[in-house]
Amino acid sequence: MKHILQHLSEGKSLSFEQINSASESLFSKEITDSEIAAFLIGLKMKGETAEEIAGITAALRARSLKFSREIPNVMDNCGTGGDGVKSFNISTTSAFVIAGAGIPVAKHGNRSISSKTGSSDVLEHIGINLTASPEKTEEILEKVGIAFLFAPHVHPQLRRIMKVRNDLRIPTIFNLIGPLTNPVELEAQLLGIYRRDMVVLFAEVLKKLGRKRAIVINGAGYMDEASLQGENYLAIVENGMITEKILHPEEFGLSIFSNDSIRGGDAKENAHILLRVLRGEKGPYRETVLLNAGIGIFTAGKANSIQKGIKLAKESIDSGSALDKLQELITESQKNQRKVM
């Protein structure tokens, strides 16, 4: 670690192998909290490269709970948080819509970061078991078509690193890489990030991690989701190439709403919003989900355009398929007959 810290202090970037080895050493009992902090600050001050982020991610995934089954065409849609918009749980609601369109979703998530309520908080309130074993999670994913992976549960060895990160009280790479560390082998991924300057960088990381198709998005108002407020900036990974794109909701016949119109609340309120959307209620919450789920469906290759992805998202909601996925997940994760109220 001393050699790595010296490299970083000199502003030198590390290879995938170097950063992967250094990241593995973060789990050692011999390493001090000061060394972990110096490592995170050194990377931040130098500026992380795609190689370094991929190397850290590989090390973290190697230490996660093991998911052994190869389930085809699985995707995740997860944001980094940190945008400060305090929106409702957009990607969580969208995940059920994507699953309702026939795409397997391994949804990775955590407690609240930038919104009042994180994905785990709202799903736990609805009645979904967050601590199923990898075997049970894989069984649910195969049977239902959607499963939830609670980050602290699937990454139990990260507690010490997370404590140091929180003690630093400044953002580091660990505030951004959560969506990259899903331990399930994903073919496609929709990743939202609040840092517009890192959209292409994270697309390069997803490419290095082997995603067949991926989109990294920074929404209008610098949301870590697609926004109805205005222009959204995307980087699309496909066939080994990265393409940048600007999209506006009006291109798809969606209304313009400010980000203030999609604010959320506590777990109870956000669960209520999620259910209202899945039951077909019209308004800014629904249209925000249609845009994000449509992009997700396109990312997975189920639709050959975002416009068609939005059409499939509408069908998923209006047919009741998205709500059915939620109810099935509650039932299978709890193994009882609790009903959505």
177 is in an annotated binding site: no
Nearest to 67 by CA among 154, 173, 144, 130: 154
165 is in an annotated binding site: yes
Which of the 8 DSSP states describes residue 219?
Answer: B
End-to-end CA distance of the chain: 53
90 is in an annotated binding site: yes
92 is in an annotated binding site: yes
295 is in an annotated binding site: no
108 is in an annotated binding site: yes
333 is in an annotated binding site: no
225 is in an annotated binding site: yes
315 is in an annotated binding site: no
166 is in an annotated binding site: no
113 is in an annotated binding site: yes
How is the beta sheet containing 105-109 ordered, strand by strand? 146-150, 105-109, 75-79, 188-192, 213-218, 232-238, 241-247
How many Cβ atoms are within 10 Å of 28's Cβ, its own excluded?
A: 10
324 is in an annotated binding site: no
87 is in an annotated binding site: yes
317 is in an annotated binding site: no
E strand or H helix at 126: helix 119-126
53 is in an annotated binding site: no
119 is in an annotated binding site: yes
339 is in an annotated binding site: no
304 is in an annotated binding site: no
310 is in an annotated binding site: no
Indicate the annotated binding residues: 79, 82-83, 87, 89-92, 107-115, 119, 165, 224-225
Indicate the annotated binding residues for 5-phospho-alpha-D-ribose 1-diphosphate: 79, 82-83, 87, 89-92, 107-115, 119
Indicate the annotated binding residues for Mg(2+): 91, 224-225
Indicate the annotated binding residues for anthranilate: 79, 110, 165
